Amino acid sequence: MSSALLIIAGFAGLLGGAELLIRAGTALALRLGIAPIVIGVTVVSLGTSMPELAIGIESARQGSAGLAVGNIVGTNVVNLLLILGLSAAIRPITLDTRTVRFDLPLMTAAAVLLLLVALDGGLGTWDGVVLLLFGTIYTLGVLRTGRQESAAEDAEGPVPLDAERETTRPWVDAVTLVAGIAVIVVGATLLVDGAVEAARAFGVSDTVIGLTIIAIGTSAPELVTTIFSTIRGNRDIALGNLLGSSVYNIALILGITVLVAPGDVPVPDEVLEGDLLLMVAAALACVPVFVSGSRISRLEGALFVVAYGGYLGWLLAAQT
């Protein structure tokens, strides 16, 4: 299949999968009495992180697990600056109390934790265990706060389902949700393969491809899900997906990669001294933005996008 067809098929998969995912995720959350952001933080964010997991395990199998660290760091920078920024620039994001008090601190803590365990230039077995433990604690916290929110909503009365949802069963929504995630992951794979093939045909180096196409390509599920959710008005799933993916990429995806690697996973100097610091800075920058007024304005979103453009320009300039 030519690179153009791969790219077209990839985009089609991303768009179709995002539509299935958002519809099923919202319906399932309402049926189960769970806040949509909980579905976004857990099921959706884990599903859209599958490309990163696949790359991490494959890199470990080939003895190049250090590449996975750069991919995770680059993907989180894309999530926090480019995707979150674009979403807010399209439509300001209003933040609830749970996001500010729970998801934001733990997302920031995950970024700082990765920096601390990577300071010695490598990630060993115990580092992987610590990351996985953090991810487990985060998931338990998400479920606990979700139950508390559901109990509070039940006290106010049940939310009525529309006629379309009343005619379907919960297992149908669950299967549709999984199918949407699968289609998105396949679409992202096709898109990355096609883009890499096209870039090489035009003589673009593997380094530039890795820093741009792979990092953005593996974030394509989060990007499409967030933009679709923004346009359709399902902001809770979009925001939960971004914050959850940022935590799971570090805690679970990288943690698993470290544990399946045959030895310690090296953290390249350029990642430790540049990209990783920027990822932590981006997470810390979210704190005053999220806390001030409990919303992300269009201007703040635009500034995030500009910051990512500057980061991308710096990366490309450093390779020339």
What pTM value is reported for the model? 0.74
Higher model confidence: residue 215 or residue 143? 143
* pLDDT tops 70 at residue 268: yes
Per-position DSSP letters for 9-38, written without gaps between them: HHHHHHHHHHHHHHHHHHHHHHHHT--HHH
Residues 30-55 as b or e (16 or more Cβ within 10 Å = b): bbeebbbbbbbbbbbbbbbbbbbbeb
Of the candidates 22, 37, 36, the one whose C-alpha atom is nearest the C-alpha of residue 104 is: 37
pLDDT tens digits for 91-100?
A: 888 877 777 8
Using left for φ > 0, alpha for ψ between -120 and 50, and beta otherwise, residue 263 falls in: beta
pLDDT at 130 over 50: yes
φ and ψ at residue 185, rounded to 5 degrees = -65, -45
How many percent of the chain have pLDDT more than 70? 70
- Average pLDDT estimate for 154-178: 62
Is pLDDT larger for residue 153 or for residue 111? 111
Residue 58: the pLDDT is 67
- Which residues neighbour 287 within 8 Å (Cβ) at sequence distance 6 or greater? 104, 108
Q: Is the pLDDT of residue 207 over 50?
A: no
* Averaged pLDDT of the chain: 77
CA distance 231 to 236: 12
Find the mean pLDDT for residues 277-297: 87
Question: How confident is the model over 237-266, as a mean pLDDT?
Answer: 83
- Banded model confidence at residue 108, pLDDT cuts 50, 70, 90: very high
pLDDT of res. 65: 60
Give the mean model confidence (pLDDT) for residues 266-275.
79
Q: So what's the pLDDT on residue 159?
A: 47
Q: What is the pLDDT of residue 149?
A: 61
Rounded to the nearest 10°, the torsion over CA 53, 57, 59, 60 is 140
In this structure, which amino acid lies at residue 139? T
pLDDT computed for residue 307 by the predictor = 92
- Give pLDDT tens digits for 178-198: 888 788 778 767 766 776 677
Residue 147 has a pLDDT of 67
The more confidently predicted of residues 110 and 100 is: 110
pLDDT of residue 260: 83
| Helix, coil or strand: residue 202 | coil
Helix (H) or strand (E) holding 317: helix 298-318
**Average pLDDT for residues 250-266, to the nearest whole number?**
85
CATH ID of 44-168+206-318, from 1.10.10.10, 3.40.50.150, 1.20.1420.30, 3.40.50.720: 1.20.1420.30
Q: What is the mean predicted confidence (pLDDT) over 43-56?
A: 71
